[in-house]
Amino acid sequence: TLRRMAGVMDRLSRLAKTIAARRDADPETSWVANLNARGMPVIARKLGEEALETVIAALSGSRDELIGEAADTLFHLLVLLDAKGVSLDEVYAELDAREGTSGIAEKAAR
């Protein structure tokens, strides 16, 4: 429902704000700051690792494992977007632009 989707977007927006606030924190005490201090290659690899773990959990893990890995993937995606200066609003706008378009048709149009 729209109400539930708004709640999800609020949650992601709150998480994105927390990540932005921690970007320049002490890398010894903040995972976000630690990743940022190590640079984009490390952030990108971490997102890839979490995405792969999500795929593995989907194929052979429990439901709880999948939920945990999906949360890790979303978190690390938001860290990467923040590090690249891409806002959730920009991602939402792209999703809005694709709304109502078949995924097959949208991919063919690229």
The 10s digit of each residue's pLDDT in 72-93 is: 999 999 999 999 999 999 998 9
How many helices (H) and strands (E) the chain has is answered by 6, 0
pLDDT at 100: 85
Q: What is the pLDDT of residue 7?
A: 67
Pick 60 or 9 by higher pLDDT.
60
The answer to whether the beta carbons of residues 54 and 66 sit under 8 Å apart is yes
Instruction: Provide the 8-state DSSP code for 25.
Output: S
pTM (predicted TM-score): 0.85
- pLDDT, position 86: 98
Is 1's pLDDT higher than 60? Answer: no
